[in-house]
Amino acid sequence: MIFRKFDSAFFAFSFLILILISGTVQSNADVRVIGGKDADKEKYPFIAHLSTPEYSSEPFCGATYIGGKKVLTAAHCVVAADYDDTFLEVLMITIGDYDVTKKETEKQFSVERIVIHPGYDSQTLANDIAIIFLEKEPVGIDEASLPKMNMKNVFNSKTVLTVAGWGVTDEGNVSDILQEVDVNFVSDKLCRTSYEDYLMTGKTICAGDIIWGGIDACQGDSGGPLFYTDLDGTLVQTGIVSWGIGCALAEYPGVYANTGAHLSFIESPDKFLDGQITFVSDDTKSPNVPLGLVKYPITLQNTSDSVANVTSLYIDDGQLLTNPCKQALEPNQSCTIDTTLQVKTGRTIYEATAYTETASAPSYLPIDITGIGKDNVDNEDFASLKLPSVIVPLGKNPWSISDGQMKAVPSAGDGYSMTMLDKFPKGTLSFTAKNNTAFAGLFIYVNQKEVISYFTGEKNINLKLDQESNFVEFYYEGLPANENFGETVAVRDMKFKAGNIGLLSFVILIFFAYNRKIRNL
């Protein structure tokens, strides 16, 4: 994933490490307006750029003045503000610039504060939008027009959009003069075909040329505007330059934050800071799940000082659950909501949004899952494990199975190997795991929950499987195959014991045992 943010001397500042940690790192691919031309000098009086003149005069992101003290940009451009207060002290916003090498009619402003969308996620780039509040309100500067609604459902393949910025150009250098290029709207369906492993929702817009390529935003254009032209000739900002894979590639159109889907946040960003509830996330949870319908519990917690009534939970696969917690949540109280996701092969990212009765700010949760398909292991080899016949082997770069044991087979690329055993009934799975490698770890998950973390050595392990249907994941992480000197991890002596005979069965057994005793008297 390429953040369309320019790598200048700005990164020499002390918050470089913070930006790297937060994930706002780009690759060496181009990031600019590709295939564009010099913009008309008077066309974009509201366009802006971000820089840190104390360290570099070059802009590192674009932005747009939208009225009052507010400037609109991408969250990943300013996420350093969450980690380092000095970022605000050196950040400068320039509005109305055209040639960055000349001092003309542009105006510069210091920053008072920044509000990043509370649903921004540095891994998925969900809700990649932020509002910068200037210390002083600009005078005599036109503001950009915003849509009245989410225009994505109005656009079609013939819709022409325009992106503008000072990013890298066809020559491979950043442009001193503001560039613009027309790009074609790309539907969600086509965009998901390109970006099957990334988040595509109603809150994003894709644009580019999916036949020939050659036109796009790129590095240095992040945070800048994507416009459509209204019937009266007015430029209306429908998007914010966010990310893409490479630049101007036909198979990978540019991805933009959809301003029409964020109008409430743009109008009143401070209200989005007043949320009552948060999602309780588990960083140890595995994203890997079997294909088909999968149970996915979601936990919400009331983090406010007052009672919170969760009115609805929406997942952008179409699920809408009303009154999901069944009762109001007292301060610090939480509830777990059982949802079901339809999982397809490969990685899918959904977004869950929870709303409360009194707070204006919803809460957001990215759901990152990867559907794992069936492993084509030889039936005879799999039978050597002596597991119940209902068990199904799944895998992504799977372990080898033979002679009653499983062995991790690290990939040549990143050194991982994963096998999943699906459809275990209730009971206990026991086995011996051996990991004598110097640079690898074994992780084991039951129904996505981590039960063994970075295990090394040799150990007898018992796993309790307490659902009607369970899946167990064995994940090896180590050196790539061409560097691991033949070292690997093995699991052997697997045994499954059915458990939890249930209350009714227990009563029946007691009844027959009692009758047998009576007959023997």
Concatenating the DSSP letter of every residue in 17-31 gives HHHHHHT----SS--
DSSP state of 142: P
Give the amino acid at 314: Y
Phi-psi region for residue 382, left (φ > 0), alpha (ψ -120 to 50) or beta? alpha
CA 269 – CA 130 distance, rounded (Å): 8
Tell me the sheet residues that pair with 314.
320, 353
User: Strand 288-290 and strand 363-372: pairing?
Assistant: parallel
Residue 455 in contact with residue 443, Cβ under 8 Å? yes
Residue 359 in contact with residue 345, Cβ under 8 Å? no
Active-site option among 49, 76, 117, 262: 76
**Maximum CA extent, the chain:** 109
76 is catalytic: yes
Active-site option among 51, 175, 194, 222: 222
Phi-psi region for residue 231, left (φ > 0), alpha (ψ -120 to 50) or beta? alpha
Kindly list the distances between the CA atom of residue 300 and the CA atoms of 52, 197, 359, 404, in Å, as whole numbers in the listed order.
Answer: 39, 26, 15, 43
128 is catalytic: yes
Kindly list the distances between the CA atom of residue 82 and the CA atoms of 19, 57, 86, 132, 458, in Å, as whole numbers in the listed order.
Answer: 10, 23, 10, 13, 43
CA 347 – CA 295 distance, rounded (Å): 16
Q: How many residues does this entry show for the chain?
A: 521
222 is catalytic: yes
Residue 216 in contact with residue 26, Cβ under 8 Å? no
Tokens for 362, please give them.
């919803």
Tokens for 385, please give them.
């494990």
Tell me the sheet residues that pair with 355.
312
CA 218 – CA 255 distance, rounded (Å): 11
DSSP state of 197: T
CA distance between the termini of the chain: 77
CA 51 – CA 187 distance, rounded (Å): 33
User: Strand 319-322 and strand 310-315: pairing?
Assistant: antiparallel
DSSP state of 177: B
What's the order of all strands across the beta sheet hosting 470-477? 392-396, 416-424, 470-477, 441-446, 449-455
15 phi, psi to nearest 5 deg: -90, 15
Of residues 206, 205, 153, 202, the one with CA closest to residue 318: 202
Active-site option among 7, 30, 121, 128: 128
Residues annotated as catalytic are 76, 128, 222
